Structure 1
């Protein structure tokens, strides 16, 4: 069976495409704020998680206290300032 293109079929197709385009545009305007809030919330969670991870690894580890040696190394000389 062979189908023949008609002018009315072409117009119908163009009108359907235009209607679908405007319907998608309308729905996008309605749902965009909700999608943006959702995306911002997810991004905030990721940033907070990354910050907590970095904060845990960046804390300085306690180092043992090094005490000064009590060995007598040499003679102590008291210096005086001269004006």
Structure 2
């Protein structure tokens, strides 16, 4: 009941392995762009949903062309401190 390996069986096994390899290679060239396109669409939807969660109160106001809109006024605490110290004039000694 013990079978021995033959040259025909070995060649048949190698041929099957090569056919499977090249078949998967051809199928991957066909389906890889479709898979990448599908995955990129899903990632874009996920990131878009996260962006909408972070920015729920976004105003969609239409503004006129050339109109200046100020959302926030800057603080006017730019007054410098005049009592920093006194100026001392000096001379160089050679």
- Same fold, TM exceeding 0.5? yes
Deviates more, 1:17-26 or 1:47-56: 47-56
Secondary structure of 1:56's counterpart equals coil
Instruction: Work out the number of aligned pairs and report it.
Output: 57
SS at the partner of 2:2?
A: coil
- Structure 1 segments of 4+ aligned residues over 4 angstroms from their partners: none
TM-score, normalised with respect to structure 2: 0.56
Structure 1 segments unaligned to the other structure (5+ residues)? 58-83
Q: What residue is the counterpart of 2:43 in the other structure?
A: 43
1:13 matched residue in structure 2: 13
Distance in 2 of aligned mates of 1:3 and 1:47: 59
Match of 1:24 in 2: 24
Q: Structure 2: which 5+ residue stretches go unaligned?
A: 58-94
Give 1:67's aligned residue: none
TM-score, reference length from structure 1: 0.63
> 1:43-72 CA distances to partner (integer Å, 9 max, x unpaired)?
001101111112239xxxxxxxxxxxxxxx
